[in-house]
Structure 1
């Protein structure tokens, strides 16, 4: 009987140890694969859903566990999601933040020695992280500016017959909005100064003109706000002119702007302004094919997600990161506290002439999705 009791005790002890181990693994604190926490900002912009799914898939392919959350453009909600990741024992965080309110949880991560990778959006006001991965966002803007330059033939424009455009920018809380805009204006500003390109509405020539730049920004990249502002322009500042072009920072806003223009008699019959974009969203590729939107800037987020997980893998293994297809910039991207190590991938212009090659032949979309 004593032997039986002893044996039973051993079995119960062993069972409790197995249960404890399993419980820890499930919460990310056990001896299983390290947990990577992935916090995306929202879902109303198509690309963030793809980013989240790709990041998770690439992390799991590397042998990590991963959890993805979406903050619904609410920084308080995203902070709670990130805190939950830390509670579950995340060993590294990949954060596409909403605004600077994220810095409190980035500080929490630093205190727990959990590395943070800022994903596609620089986390301003924080000195508690080392890594940022994105595309060359200034070049994104340059491509948008060059598209307007080419489509409007600005090189041949004159003061007597100037080209007329209006300007839109992204969310005021997203540092990329400034990068995109300044890249575009590096191309367009000389034509404005020559008097051959006129701007209707607020006319900042750089994001440093804070008062006017704020007037062209679009809170949380919301399409409804962009559409309402375009309608207001058409009924006021642009009422008695025909716009030749519109600098739109991304595809979601571009389509909203085009929708507003399509309701104006001046642009009936498909005579729409040249409208730029970004992200290669499916709906905008269809617009480009149909001649409604002039171009987009494609940032293959599959490559960005893969590069982010390569970076995460190197950090967790204590290795020096070597990210194929990305260049390291250690000086340009400053949070206001310090310059962070920034890995930059190359964006690509997409137009009616090359969308099949860039978007379909690459496997990003199927021909049946677009045709």
Structure 2
């Protein structure tokens, strides 16, 4: 009897040790099951960030991680407080789409605590305290916008005797992507401007390096009302005596605001300018389908979110990332990872142009919620 009790005690001790070991490592060597992933999105007024936050959380939890999402309300101080809360909770990795470079102080705190930081679809500028950035090829996003305008205006057949007229908008000056979008678009449009077949109405920064003029066309925090007011002022000011053929709009939120302003002007009630966009928001794809907004750029943020979580998982495990569908930026594209303090590893996914000819691509990809998809059916 005594021997039997000893055997049972040994077995119970071994089982307890085994269970404790499983709890300690999440059930497998190197597992991230117990790891908290802190997800910080910049705001909710651009609908894609709400979707991205939900997707990041879903993919992280599918990998057994704990995940929490916070939205910064376009306020870097508020986002910093959210990030500090993640650190207090013991987060192992932070996935951050920042509001502006004021986030750098918390990124430095994370580095001191040996917490990995991944910049998500917006580089964290003026920081040398993190190593990873995941995004789309944002110069190509701009190129696709420029190509959409080139196609929509048939610029290859345009002449200096009958030029086309365009006005230019850019995104938020606190978002490093805005510069890549603009420069990509202008790499397509500048040759036509130089030939005199495309005329710019209003400020014309040839590239984003023309800081003074870029600030004049930039849209603080990607706010639609700001773009609408500026468009209204253009229509009653610099563009009063011409009919605009195109507007370079850097995303869908701004594109729809510009369309709203144009519809209130008698000159555009029957024919809108060719207006670009980005993000394939459902309302803009409906607009494209209906012949209003000309194009958008589809960045499958479901794939971006999944890729970011794969990267986070690899970083926490101490493994070399292997991210399907993403390439590590190199050559001229390596500058996409330049924070101003160091060049981080930038993983890039490919964007897709969407026009009336292929508006169903994001729908077929399952990009939309049921309510959004219903608008397109």
Q: Taking structure 1 as the reference length, what is the TM-score of the superposition?
A: 0.90
Distance in 1 (alpha carbons) for counterparts of 2:117 and 2:238 = 45
Who is 1:368 aligned against? 374
Distance in 2, matches of 1:155 and 1:59, equals 47
What residue number does 1:139 align with?
Answer: 140
Can you give the 5+ residue segments of structure 2 that lack an aligned partner in the other structure?
1-22, 27-31
Q: What is residue 297 of structure 2 aligned with on the other side?
A: 297
Aligned residues: 341
Distance between the aligned counterparts of 1:32 and 1:166, measured in 2? 51
Q: After TM superposition, give the deviation of residue 369 of structure 1 in Å.
A: 2.8
1:317, 1:234 → 2: CA distance? 55
Q: Does 1:311 align with 2:311?
A: yes
SS in 1 for 2:362: helix
SS in 1 for 2:118: strand
Aligned match of 2:10:
none
Q: Hey, what does 2:100 align to over in structure 1?
A: 99
- By how many angstroms is 1:364 displaced? 1.8
Per-residue deviation, residues 158-206 of structure 1 (Å, max 9, x unmatched): 1111110000000010000000000000000011111111000001110
C-alpha separation between the residues in 2 aligned to 1:156 and 1:353?
21
User: 2: CA distance between counterparts of 1:342 and 1:353?
Assistant: 32
1:1-42 superposed Cα distances (whole Å, 9 cap, x missing partner): xxxxxxxxxxxxxxxxxxxxx9xx9xxxxx971100000000
Q: How does 1:156-235 map to 2 (within 5 A)?
A: 156-235=157-236
1:138 positional shift: 0.3
- Determine helix, strand or coil for the equivalent of 2:37: strand
Structure 1: runs of 5 or more not aligned = 1-21, 26-30
Aligned residue for 1:14? none
* Contact 2:37–2:68 (CA under 8 A) maintained in structure 1: yes
Write out per-residue CA displacement over residues 307-332 of structure 1, whole angstroms, 9 at most, x where no aligned residue: 00000010011100011000101532
Inter-partner Cα distance in structure 1 for 2:34 and 2:228:
46
**CA distance in 1: counterparts of 2:366 and 2:181, whole angstroms:** 26
Corresponding residue for 1:60? 61
The aligned residue for residue 349 of structure 2 is 345
Secondary structure in 1 aligned to 2:342?
A: coil
Structure 1 ranges of 4+ moved more than 3 A: none
Q: Output the CA distance in 2 between the equivalents of 1:88 and 1:360.
A: 38
Question: Partners of 2:240 and 2:33 in 1: how far apart?
Answer: 63
Which residue number corresponds to residue 273 of structure 1?
A: 273
Q: What secondary structure, in the 3-state scheme, does the structure 2 residue paired with 1:291 have?
A: coil
Deviation at 1:253, TM superposition (A): 0.3
Is 1:355 the counterpart of 2:334? The answer is no
Worse-matched range after superposition: 238-247 or 153-162: 153-162
**3-state SS of paired residue (1:158):** coil
Aligned to 2:269, the other structure's residue is in SS state helix
- Equivalent residue number for residue 70 of structure 1: 71
Tell me, in whole angstroms, the C-alpha distance in 1 between the residues paired with 2:367 and 2:196: 41
For 2:192 and 2:215, locate their aligned partners in 1 and report how far apart those are by CA, in whole Å.
Answer: 22
Supply the distance in 2 between the matched residues of 1:157 and 1:113 (Cα, whole angstroms): 57
CA contact (8 A) 2:33 2:63 kept: no
Q: Distance in 2 between matches of 1:52 and 1:126?
A: 23
How far did 1:370 drift?
A: 1.3
Cα distance in structure 1, aligned partners of 2:357 and 2:200: 28
Q: CA deviation at 1:280?
A: 0.5
Corresponding position of 1:16: none
Q: Please give the alpha-carbon distance, in whole angstroms, between the structure 2 residues aligned to 1:60 and 1:343.
A: 22
Give 1:268 shift: 1.4
**TM-score scaled by length of structure 2:** 0.89
Distance of 1:347 and 1:163 partners within structure 2: 27
Deviation string, structure 1 residues 239-289 (Cα, Å, up to 9, x no partner): 0100000000000000000000000010112x0000000000011011001
Q: Which residue of 1 aligns with 2:282?
A: 282
How far, CA to CA, are the matches of 2:325 and 2:122 in structure 1? Answer: 19
RMSD over equivalenced CA pairs, Å? 1.4
Counterparts of 2:348 and 2:329, CA distance in 1: 7
